[in-house]
Amino acid sequence: MNIVAQEVSLGTGTLKVMVKDSIDIQGMKTIAGCKALQDQAAATSNAKVIDLIVAADCTITAKTNLHELAFGITGINKNFGTPINSKYPELIPGGSSSGSAAAIAAGLADFSLGTDTGGSIRMPAACCGVFGLKPSYGRVSRVGVKPEQSSLDCVGPFAASVAMIETAMQIIDPSYQKIDALQAAPKLAFLKVDADPMIWDCIQHYFNQANLQLDEVAVNSFEDAFAAGMQIINFENWQAYAELTKTGKVSPDVNNRLLKSAETTFTQVQQAEKIRVKFKQEIDALLENYDALVLPTLPQIPPKVSDAEHTVAFLNLTALVRPFNLSGHPAISIPLEMETGFPVGLQMIAKQDADALLCAIADYVVNAAQ
């Protein structure tokens, strides 16, 4: 199924866990789906999240495949194989954490870990019909995760239920304290964004089933935040991977994106940082009045694998997820499905470091809609 990049047997617990192959495991090479990294030395120590998983009631069984260098959104990897989206086989698994999402959809693990720099957990979660959480920025340790430096990237879990997402968070974030039950119905608002009307109709129908009425709100800098997030990820990934473009071993799709990233200037990054501050303030202001904001994870139905050869042509698929990497707010994707059988992701956003509240709200909404 092209999900597994490397088989692992680490830990002796009952929970089966798979982790994205951009996360170090001692004695193994962290290849990140890239032939240019096959000749590097094995990791000399575990990433911090790996130590936490092994110390819990878990067994790590595999490292999962991904979009090369975690720098792509389709999940297609011609070097090591594209993970099959078992629930929707014709559609892309989503990237970059394609294998980690596909593993949950295929029932191969209790939870898996991915990374999310511009939607790379939430997008594949939506494509594969599973739950995926991008924690608050800085909440979960990135020590031992590629790229080494990032002002956007977060390590987070995939699972088949909110309950297992919370179990995973309690393991990888020792400060996480689960909220057993909300004392009252959460106050929610739809965040007005541009998405296919069929996507919005599916989400609205879901909340109608849950008997929840939502206000509608907007932020002025949403599109600017998307562009700013692109500038920063391009700048930071060029710093991390520029040398690999000289090897001739990076696939043309990713190599061309990296070379294009070299054109991003420090002045553009400075302007992006100003937008980061403005956008975060706008979202924070809304979250003073609402417990969570609601919007689609993806603006359209995921494309077919056969139509998604070039990442750049589909970067608009990250239009609704990337802004929250810029702001650092926690974001969860909940799997929905249209009557026509296509996957839809319901995304919810909460205050910075209110990850447990966000999961409690997600659980409340899922149960109310059943």
Residue 63, strand partner residues = 6, 19
The reported pTM is: 0.97
Report domain 4-369's class: alpha beta
Q: Show pLDDT as tens, one digit a residue, over the chain (370 residues).
A: 799 999 999 999 999 999 999 999 999 999 999 999 999 999 999 999 999 999 999 999 999 999 999 999 999 999 999 999 999 999 999 999 999 999 999 999 999 999 999 999 999 999 999 999 999 999 999 999 999 999 999 999 999 999 999 999 999 999 999 999 898 899 999 999 999 999 999 999 999 999 999 999 999 999 999 999 999 999 999 999 999 999 999 999 999 999 999 999 999 999 999 999 999 999 999 999 999 999 999 999 999 999 987 666 677 899 999 999 999 999 999 999 999 999 999 999 999 999 999 999 999 999 999 9
Residue 112, strand partner residues = 18, 158
Residue 217, strand partner residues = 191
DSSP single-letter state for residue 34: -
Amino acid identity at 370:
Q
DSSP, collapsed to helix, strand or coil, labels residue 58 as strand
Domain limits of the chain? 4-369
Tell which residue, 275, 286, 273, has the closest CA to residue 351: 286
Gap between the Cα atoms of 25 and 27, Å rounded: 6
